[in-house]
Structure 1
Amino acid sequence: MQHQHLPIFPLGAVLFPGAIMPLHIFEERYRRMLEATRNEDPAFAISLVEYGDDADEEGKPSGVGTACSIAGISPRSDGRSDIVVTGAFRVRISDVDWSRGYAVADIAPLDDVIRDQDAVTALYRRMQYRFAQYLAALELLVQEKLPKLQPSDDPAHGAWVIAETLTLHTWERQQVLEFATVDERLEEIHRLLRRELALLIHTGAIGSTIDFPGRRKSIN
């Protein structure tokens, strides 16, 4: 896919590829954006808003965001809309133009580059195992059955499912989104997964046993 122009929706949140996000569209400029793009695919890109010396009071879009498709629209009688979007693919954002009242930028899709396939495959297997531990510990802590989550066998796609499930700071989510290679992204998500599992253990699941297919295992 070549470079193209796409509206940018700067938010205080990060959308991962494959994840869903509900949005309430109420500002007039974003109503116009939605009207102009509702039949396009992708419709627009979501980018974490940044503030700093080179940004105005509204902030500016981060340099890496996620192009998204509109999965559903529920218009309201007053012109506002509730929509649900699905993350499609990562994009590099440049040359932002605000002349329409909302941002339109040049976007370039970012490929999922793998430098060492064998290392990525081995690491992802460890992540799948630890993710099963994490979900089991979470169920023990909340004392209820959680929806079944089965990450894809493809490390590039499965890593997004794991990252979306973890409780991460917004800046951590943005960092995960920006990694140039799948290798780097998996290393960071694995580190965050280990951290979140350790927090669950110390929060209340410590010493409990976790069911695995055909056996029981302690998370200690």
Structure 2
Amino acid sequence: MTARLPVFPLATVLFPGLVLPLHIFEERYRALVRHLVDLPEGASREFGVVAIQAGWEVAPAGPGGRASTGVGDVTLHEVGCTAELRQVTELADGGFDIVTVGRRRFRIADVDESTEPYLTAEVEWLPEAAGSDEVADLLAARVIAVFRQYLGLIRSDPEEISEQLPEDPTVLSHLVAATAALTVDDRQRLLAIDDTAARLRAELRLLNREAALLRQVRAVPVPLSELASPPTPN
């Protein structure tokens, strides 16, 4: 099943269930917000968030002051996630502060850069896990344990480490992917994985890698700032 969506290129990866606040200042995306707000009551107010693979998030002004929205400005990753509009605050300068929540993953089939002021794309919805999966349940328990160890290395507040984590394997996989200190490429690879168990396995590898790097940094016997200083004479 396919659908046509407005597309918002960003230098980040959105996952289902995660909150994404945005400050909208470009005219093309102001037009996008106005389009969503003007939809009939009960209509789905969603747009696609796609991570930028190369190029610039803010397009230069084209002829007549119109922003150039062509795919020539940016190269997009193939897989993205819809953002559902939940809250809109219109600003005095005509911009918007909005709050969105990730909803559905999709794969881009075709991009249209000319019909609207903003990009639109024909997208194919990607499957999500449904029902109980014993393997995913077992992996989720391991990911929770490793993720808590990882949080202990990057956070000093015990309350942040003991916060409740979701038991649902799919929800957990999206939360870990979005909140761990990973690169955009790492997050993008996780978003593109259709199977929850496979995503959790990949996260175990990434969390173990990141934890090992953090432990190495902590094992340095002197403050890192001192390593850049010239030695003092004895």
TM-score, normalization: structure 1? 0.80
For residues 87-121 of structure 1, give each alpha carbon's deviation from its aligned partner in whole angstroms, at most 9, with x where no partner exists: 1121112221112121111222211258x933222
1:62 pairs with 2:61: no
For the residues of structure 2 that align with 1:68 and 1:143, how far apart are their CA atoms?
31
Q: Which amino acid aligns with 1:62?
A: H
- Give the 3-state SS of the residue equivalent to 1:129 in structure 2: helix
Candidates 143, 158, 169, aligned match of 2:172:
158
* Other-structure match for 1:73: 88
- 1:202 CA displacement: 3.0
Whole-Å separation in 1 of the counterparts to 2:219 and 2:193 = 32
Residues paired across the two proteins, number: 200
The equivalences for 1:104-143 within 5 A come to 104-113=120-129, 117-139=133-155, 142=156
CA distance in 1, matches of 2:97, 2:46: 15
Mapped to 1, the partners of 2:53 and 2:152 lie a distance apart of: 36
Mapped to 2, the partners of 1:175 and 1:12 lie a distance apart of 15
Within the alignment, does 1:92 sit opposite 2:92 as a pair?
no
- The residue identity in structure 2 corresponding to 1:81 is F
Residues 193 and 199 in structure 2, CA contact (< 8 A), matched pair in contact too: yes
Partner AA of 1:190 in structure 2: L
2:206 partner letter: L
2:6 and 2:162 map into 1 onto residues whose CA distance is: 35
One-letter identity of the residue aligned with 1:13:
T
User: For 1:148-187, what aligned pairs fall within 5 Å after superposition?
Assistant: 149-187=163-201
**Residue 48 (structure 2) pairs with residue 48 (structure 1):** no
- Paired position in structure 2 for 1:27: 26
CA RMSD of aligned residues (A): 2.5
Q: What SS does structure 2 have at the residue aligned with 1:21? A: strand
- 1:156 and 1:182 in contact (8 A); partners too: yes
After the TM superposition, which parts of structure 1 deviate over 6 Å for at least 4 consecutive aligned residues?
none
What is the CA distance between 1:72 and its match in structure 2? 1.7
State the Cα distance separating 1:188 from its structure 2 match: 0.9
Cα 1:205–1:66 change in 2 (3 A) is farther
CA distance in 2, matches of 1:160, 1:150: 15
- Amino acid corresponding to residue 210 of structure 2 in structure 1: E
Query: What stretches of structure 1 of length at least 5 have no aligned partner?
Result: 207-220
| 1:134 CA drift (Å) | 2.0
Which residue identity is paired with 2:175? Answer: V
Partner SS state of residue 103, structure 2: strand
User: What is the CA deviation profile of residues 108-147 of structure 1, one whole-angstrom value per residue up to 9, with x for unaligned ones?
Assistant: 2211258x933222222111111222223333xx356427
Distance 2:158 2:138 in 1: 31
CA deviations 1:49-93 (Å, max 9, x no partner) are 2338xx854114322100111122221111111112111121112
Q: Describe the shift of the 1:148–1:31 C-alpha distance in structure 2 as closer, same or farther (beyond 3 A).
A: farther
